[in-house]
């Protein structure tokens, strides 16, 4: 007769063997179904398609075709890394298109050039049926249900507003929903991470009173404050001053690549405390600090930032078309699934990746709009920057012309030379007459 202990042991062995058989059968069934890692990525990204924080396609349209959309087929645009076909292949459902003009336009025609870039993005996103221009978080959600690629417009560089609150407001009216405070040049009111341009240099004044007023006005309108390209001091000041969450639309981790465009851990913690978002940049020089990188290098940045501030503070901002070198395996916008596959291999959960792909950005956008709604009673800002701060020789001071002959008149050089020119012409005519008489 078997003891009770023997019966329990035999029973346990039976169940263990049965469980083992189930595991084997389950694995064989999984393999037989052909449900691969790629299938898992496709399924995940189909349910949670990507919102990409930064793409410079509009810049390439100007460089390559002077914004003549009639010369381009955006379903097959082989000269660049972005077209509609590849966006669809990469499961990109929403794209923040950067409106960028060179820093050399500051103090010149930056506003005009920015308007032209806004125009080309608006045309692109209304003339192609697979695109849809959106200006709110709800419109962004609706575009997903309609299976459209949502276009969001972001001005890249505060120099585009020429230190003018009305210009900022007019950009908003045209559909702009985000602006980075600087690009590679300082503005009269904010400091860049770059030292390329020796303009508006100042000490311990990374966000001036006018700069803080710009942040306040962006909060009031519901425009996302973007800190990519700003100095760390400017980013820190903006984080402290903004009432709404802010983003780094295309930046990576300074701890892994010590490039000035990347974000140090202490600033990441400030960003988390503000419920903000860092959208990781794919540019090789920002992820490996060299011209060459691979998908693993990019995934390392995701891992590090997740360790410091959590997956709920991370997004994706590829920077395609704005940079030259991209990692092997991430050469264009169709390759985003390779990154998600690598993160799955590193034990990121599907919930974490759903947040990274789109939910985190939607949360930030909705919170920016919530702050806007709280500020509806606040009047538009009438803060103006002083001429001493701007130091722009092209700025016209509007005042009525002085009466002719007034003691306060400041005659132009043309006015000063006019009597001499008339005297010379009179002498020439007299000499001509004398010669003809002879």
DSSP class of 207? B
Catalytic residue among 83, 132, 162, 250: 250
Integer-rounded Cα Rg, in Å, for the chain is: 29
Q: Which long-range contacts (CB under 8 A, 24 or more apart) does 263-270 make?
A: 263/235, 264/232, 265/308, 267/232, 267/235, 267/236, 267/239, 268/305, 268/308, 268/309, 268/313, 269/308, 269/309, 270/236, 270/239, 270/240
Catalytic residue among 229, 259, 297, 301: 229
Question: In the block, which residue shows the tokens 């050469």?
Answer: 331
Report the alpha-carbon distance of residue 45 to residue 308 in Å, rounded: 25
Is position 54 annotated as part of the catalytic site?
A: yes
Bridge partners (DSSP) listed for residue 152: 96
Is position 42 annotated as part of the catalytic site?
A: no
Report the alpha-carbon distance of residue 287 to residue 252 in Å, rounded: 7
Catalytic residue among 52, 83, 91, 183: 183
Is position 56 annotated as part of the catalytic site?
A: yes
* Vertex 120 angle, CA 59 and 88, to 5°: 75
Catalytic residue among 52, 270, 319, 355: 319
Is position 250 annotated as part of the catalytic site?
A: yes
**Secondary structure (DSSP) of 156-202:** E-GGGGTT-HHHHHHHHHTTEEEEES-SSS--SSB-BS--SS--S--
Where does residue 92 rank: exposed (0-12), middle (13-18), buried (19+ CB within 10 A)?
A: buried
CB 277 within 8 A of CB 248: yes
CB 189 within 8 A of CB 207: yes
Catalytic residue among 107, 132, 156, 332: 156
Is position 91 annotated as part of the catalytic site?
A: no
Active site residue ranges: 54, 56, 156, 183, 229, 250, 319
């Amino acid at each position: 007769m078997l003891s009770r202990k023997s019966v329990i042991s035999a029973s346990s062995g039976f169940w263990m063997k049965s469980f083992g058989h189930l595991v084997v059968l389950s694995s064989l069934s999984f393999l037989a179904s052909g449900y691969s890692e790629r299938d898992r990525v496709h399924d995940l990204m189909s349910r949670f398609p990507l919102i990409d924080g930064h793409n410079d396609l509009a810049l390439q349209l100007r460089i390559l075709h002077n914004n003549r959309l009639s010369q381009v087929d955006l379903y097959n645009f082989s000269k660049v890394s972005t077209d509609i076909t590849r966006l669809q292949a990469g499961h990109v459902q929403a794209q923040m298109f950067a409106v960028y003009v060179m820093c050399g336009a500051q103090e010149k025609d930056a506003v005009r050039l920015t308007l032209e870039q806004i125009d080309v993005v608006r045309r692109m996103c209304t003339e192609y049926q697979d695109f849809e221009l959106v200006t709110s978080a709800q419109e962004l959600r609706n575009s997903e249900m309609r299976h459209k690629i949502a276009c969001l417009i972001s001005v890249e560089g505060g120099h585009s507003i020429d230190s003018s609150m009305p210009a900022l407001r007019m950009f908003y009216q045209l559909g702009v929903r985000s602006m980075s405070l600087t690009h590679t040049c300082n503005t009269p009111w904010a400091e860049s991470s770059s030292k390329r341009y020796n303009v508006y240099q100042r000490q311990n004044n990374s966000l001036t009173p006018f700069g803080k007023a710009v942040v306040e006005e962006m909060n009031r309108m519901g425009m996302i404050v973007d800190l990519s390209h700003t100095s760390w001091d400017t980013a820190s000041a903006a984080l402290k001053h903004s009432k709404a969450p802010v983003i780094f639309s295309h930046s990576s981790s300074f701890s892994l690549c010590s490039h000035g465009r990347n974000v140090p851990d202490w600033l990441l913690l400030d960003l988390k405390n503000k419920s903000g978002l860092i959208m990781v940049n794919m540019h090789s020089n920002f992820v490996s600090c060299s011209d060459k990188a691979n998908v693993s290098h990019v995934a390392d940045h995701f891992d590090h930032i997740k360790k410091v501030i959590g997956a709920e503070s991370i997004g994706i901002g590829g920077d395609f078309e704005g940079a030259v070198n991209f990692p092997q395996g991430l050469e264009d916008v169709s390759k985003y699934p390779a990154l998600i596959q690598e993160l799955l291999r590193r034990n990121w959960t599907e919930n974490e990746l759903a947040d990274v792909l789109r939910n985190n950005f939607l949360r930030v956008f909705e919170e920016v709009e919530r702050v806007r709604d709280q500020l509806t009673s606040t009047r538009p800002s009438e803060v103006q920057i002083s001429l001493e701060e701007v130091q722009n020789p092209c700025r016209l001071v509007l005042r009525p012309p002085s009466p002719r002959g007034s003691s306060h008149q400041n005659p132009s050089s043309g006015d000063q030379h006019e009597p001499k020119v008339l005297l010379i012409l009179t002498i020439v005519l007299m000499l001509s007459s004398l010669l003809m008489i002879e």
